[in-house]
Structure 1
Amino acid sequence: MDGAGTVGGAGSVGRDERDTVARGARLYEAARALSANHERAVEAVRAALEPLRDAAVRRELDAIPVSRLQDVTEGRLRLGSVGGSGLRTVGEVLDAGPYRLRQIPGVGQRTVDRMLAAARRLAEAAQETVAVHLDVDRPEPRTTALVAALHVLVEAGPEVRRAVDRAAGLERRLGPLLAEAGPATGRLRMLVAGREGRARALSAVAGVRSLTEEAEREGVPELLAQASVDLLRGPATEAAAWVDFALRSAEYYGLLAEVSGRQPPRAAAEGFLPDEIAERVRAQRLDDTHRRVSLRGYQAFGARFALAQRKVILGDEMGLGKTVQAIAVLAHLAAEGRNRFLVVCPASVLVNWTREIEARSALRVTVLHGPDRHEAFADWRERGGVAVTTFDALRGFPAPGDGGSDGDDGGDGSGEVGLLVVDEAHSVKNPLAKRSQAVARWVERCERALFMTGTPMENRVAEFRNLVGMLDPGIADALGGRDAPAGSVAFREAVAPVYLRRNQEDVLAELPSLQQTDEWEELSASDEEAYQEAVLAGNFMAMRRAAYARPEKSAKLGRLREIVQEAAENGHKTVVFSHFRDVLGVVEGALAPRDGGREALRPDTAAPVFGPLTGSVPAERRQRIVDGFAAVEGPAVLLAQIQAAGVGLNLQAASVVIICEPQVKPTVEHQAVARAHRMGQVRPVRVYRLLAAGGVDERMVRMLERKTRLFDAYARRSAVAEATPDAVDVSDTELARRIVEEEQARLGAAGGSLTTAE
Structure 2
Amino acid sequence: MRWEDAARRQKGAGRVGRREREVVGRGVRLGEAAQGVVAEYGRAVEAVREALRPLHDALVERELGAIPVARLQDVTEGRLRLGGVERSGFGTVGRVLAAGPYRLRQIPGVGQRTVDQILAAAHRLAEAVHETVAVRIDVDRPEPGTTALVMALHVLVEAGPDARRAVDRAAALAERLGPLLADARPAGGRLRMALAGREKRARALAAVAEVRALVEEAEQAGLAELFAQTSVDLLRPSADLAAWADFELRSAEYYGLLAEVSGRLPDAAAAEGFLPEEVAERVRNQRLDDSRRRVSLRGYQAFGARFVLAQRKVILGDEMGLGKTVQAIAVLAHLAAEGRDHFMVVCPASVLVNWTREIEARSALPVRVLHGPDRHEAFADWQAQGGVGVTTFDALRGFPAPDGGTVSLLVVDEAHSVKNPQAKRSQAVALWAGRCERALLMTGTPMENRVAEFRNLVGMLDPRLADSLGEGDALAGSVAFRTAVAPVYLRRNQEDVLTELPSLQHTDEWEELSASDEEAYREAVRAGNFMAMRRAAYLRPEKSAKLERLREIVQEAAANGQKTVVFSHFKDVLTVVEQALAATGGTPLSGPLTGSVPAGRRQRIVDDFAAATGPAVLLAQIQAAGVGLNLQAASVVVLCEPQIKPTLEHQAVARAHRMGQVRPVRVHRLLATGGVDERLVRMLERKSRLFDAYARRSAVAEATPDAVDVSDTELARRIVEEEQERLGLEKEPVTDSGGSSGGSGRA
- TM-score above 0.5, yes or no: yes
Give the total of aligned pairs: 732
Given that 2:356 and 2:390 are in contact with CA atoms closer than 8 Å, whether structure 1 keeps it comes out as: yes
Specify whether residues 608 and 715 from structure 1 end up closer, same or farther in structure 2 by C-alpha distance, changes over 3 A only: farther
Does the residue aligned with 1:369 lie in a helix, a strand or coil? coil
Query: Aligned residue for 1:177?
Result: 180
Does the residue aligned with 1:227 lie in a helix, a strand or coil? helix
Query: Aligned residue for 1:543?
Result: 533
| 1:419-568 → structure 2 map (5 Å cutoff) | 419-480=409-470, 484-485=474-475, 487-568=477-558
Specify whether residues 726 and 553 from structure 1 end up closer, same or farther in structure 2 by C-alpha distance, changes over 3 A only: farther
Given that 1:253 and 1:512 are in contact with CA atoms closer than 8 Å, whether structure 2 keeps it comes out as: no
Letter in 2 for 1:645: A
1:626 is displaced (CA, Å) by 1.9
| 1:712-751 → structure 2 map (5 Å cutoff) | 730-751=710-731
Letter in 1 for 2:304: G
Q: Tell me which of 639, 657, 668 is aligned to 2:619.
A: 639
Query: Aligned residue for 2:356?
Result: 354
Query: Aligned residue for 2:159?
Result: 156
Distance 1:63 1:740 in 2: 59
Given that 1:459 and 1:486 are in contact with CA atoms closer than 8 Å, whether structure 2 keeps it comes out as: no
Specify whether residues 346 and 725 from structure 1 end up closer, same or farther in structure 2 by C-alpha distance, changes over 3 A only: farther
Off by >6 Å, runs of 4+ in structure 1: 712-716, 723-729
Given that 1:250 and 1:512 are in contact with CA atoms closer than 8 Å, whether structure 2 keeps it comes out as: no
| 1:121-136 → structure 2 map (5 Å cutoff) | 121-136=124-139
Given that 1:665 and 1:730 are in contact with CA atoms closer than 8 Å, whether structure 2 keeps it comes out as: no
Distance 1:136 1:696 in 2: 31
Given that 2:270 and 2:496 are in contact with CA atoms closer than 8 Å, whether structure 1 keeps it comes out as: yes
Query: Aligned residue for 1:244?
Result: 246
Distance 2:694 2:488 in 1: 46
Query: Aligned residue for 1:655?
Result: 635
Unaligned ranges ≥5, structure 2: 737-741
1:509 is displaced (CA, Å) by 1.2
Given that 2:343 and 2:389 are in contact with CA atoms closer than 8 Å, whether structure 1 keeps it comes out as: yes
Letter in 2 for 1:351: V
Query: Aligned residue for 1:80?
Result: 83
2:271 equivalent to 1:291: no
Distance 2:315 2:690 in 1: 40
Query: Aligned residue for 1:676?
Result: 656
Query: Aligned residue for 1:588?
Result: 578
Distance 2:574 2:478 in 1: 40
Moved more, 325-334 or 214-223: 214-223
Distance 1:27 1:700 in 2: 48
Distance 1:247 1:487 in 2: 38
1:219 is displaced (CA, Å) by 2.1
Does the residue aligned with 1:292 lie in a helix, a strand or coil? coil
Distance 2:279 2:8 in 1: 62
Moved more, 475-484 or 16-25: 475-484
Specify whether residues 714 and 443 from structure 1 end up closer, same or farther in structure 2 by C-alpha distance, changes over 3 A only: farther
Does the residue aligned with 2:448 lie in a helix, a strand or coil? helix
**Cα deviation code 1:341-399 (max 9, x no counterpart):** 11111111111111111111111111111111111111111111111111111111111
**Cα deviation code 1:392-414 (max 9, x no counterpart):** 1111111103xxxxx8xxxxx6x
Letter in 1 for 2:728: G
Letter in 1 for 2:118: M
Distance 2:115 2:93 in 1: 13
Distance 1:629 1:727 in 2: 40
1:5 is displaced (CA, Å) by 5.1
Moved more, 329-338 or 184-193: 184-193
Query: Aligned residue for 1:596?
Result: none
Distance 2:298 2:5 in 1: 60
Distance 1:161 1:2 in 2: 53
Query: Aligned residue for 2:739?
Result: none
Specify whether residues 494 and 206 from structure 1 end up closer, same or farther in structure 2 by C-alpha distance, changes over 3 A only: same
Given that 2:292 and 2:364 are in contact with CA atoms closer than 8 Å, whether structure 1 keeps it comes out as: yes
Root-mean-square deviation (CA, aligned residues, Å) is 2.2
Query: Aligned residue for 1:614?
Result: 594
Does the residue aligned with 1:173 lie in a helix, a strand or coil? helix
Given that 2:274 and 2:479 are in contact with CA atoms closer than 8 Å, whether structure 1 keeps it comes out as: no
Distance 1:480 1:104 in 2: 63
Given that 1:712 and 1:729 are in contact with CA atoms closer than 8 Å, whether structure 2 keeps it comes out as: no
Letter in 2 for 1:632: A
Specify whether residues 678 and 726 from structure 1 end up closer, same or farther in structure 2 by C-alpha distance, changes over 3 A only: farther
Query: Aligned residue for 1:269?
Result: 271
Query: Aligned residue for 2:342?
Result: 340
Given that 2:563 and 2:634 are in contact with CA atoms closer than 8 Å, whether structure 1 keeps it comes out as: yes
2:29 equivalent to 1:33: no
2:225 equivalent to 1:222: yes
1:705 is displaced (CA, Å) by 1.9
1:16 is displaced (CA, Å) by 2.4
2:388 equivalent to 1:386: yes
Specify whether residues 460 and 705 from structure 1 end up closer, same or farther in structure 2 by C-alpha distance, changes over 3 A only: same
Distance 2:90 2:197 in 1: 76
**Cα deviation code 1:723-748 (max 9, x no counterpart):** 99999964221111111111112222
1:506 is displaced (CA, Å) by 0.5
Letter in 2 for 1:70: Q
Specify whether residues 13 and 699 from structure 1 end up closer, same or farther in structure 2 by C-alpha distance, changes over 3 A only: same
Given that 2:526 and 2:730 are in contact with CA atoms closer than 8 Å, whether structure 1 keeps it comes out as: yes
Query: Aligned residue for 2:208?
Result: 205
Distance 1:4 1:592 in 2: 100
1:70 is displaced (CA, Å) by 1.1
Distance 2:434 2:664 in 1: 38
Letter in 2 for 1:344: V
Distance 1:652 1:709 in 2: 30
Does the residue aligned with 2:291 lie in a helix, a strand or coil? coil
Specify whether residues 57 and 481 from structure 1 end up closer, same or farther in structure 2 by C-alpha distance, changes over 3 A only: closer
2:674 equivalent to 1:688: no
Letter in 2 for 1:588: E
2:687 equivalent to 1:707: yes
Specify whether residues 689 and 48 from structure 1 end up closer, same or farther in structure 2 by C-alpha distance, changes over 3 A only: same
Does the residue aligned with 2:282 lie in a helix, a strand or coil? helix
Moved more, 79-88 or 237-246: 79-88
1:229 is displaced (CA, Å) by 1.2
1:649 is displaced (CA, Å) by 2.1
Letter in 1 for 2:600: E
Query: Aligned residue for 2:566?
Result: 576
Unaligned ranges ≥5, structure 1: 402-406, 408-412, 594-599
Specify whether residues 713 and 531 from structure 1 end up closer, same or farther in structure 2 by C-alpha distance, changes over 3 A only: farther
Does the residue aligned with 1:298 lie in a helix, a strand or coil? helix
Specify whether residues 245 and 359 from structure 1 end up closer, same or farther in structure 2 by C-alpha distance, changes over 3 A only: same
Given that 2:347 and 2:391 are in contact with CA atoms closer than 8 Å, whether structure 1 keeps it comes out as: yes
Specify whether residues 6 and 269 from structure 1 end up closer, same or farther in structure 2 by C-alpha distance, changes over 3 A only: farther
Given that 1:667 and 1:712 are in contact with CA atoms closer than 8 Å, whether structure 2 keeps it comes out as: no
1:251 is displaced (CA, Å) by 0.6
1:585 is displaced (CA, Å) by 1.0
1:489 is displaced (CA, Å) by 3.5
**Cα deviation code 1:88-119 (max 9, x no counterpart):** 21111111222221222211221112111211
Query: Aligned residue for 1:404?
Result: none
Does the residue aligned with 2:318 lie in a helix, a strand or coil? coil
Distance 1:40 1:512 in 2: 28
Letter in 2 for 1:72: V
Letter in 2 for 1:309: Q
Does the residue aligned with 1:457 lie in a helix, a strand or coil? coil
Specify whether residues 728 and 485 from structure 1 end up closer, same or farther in structure 2 by C-alpha distance, changes over 3 A only: farther
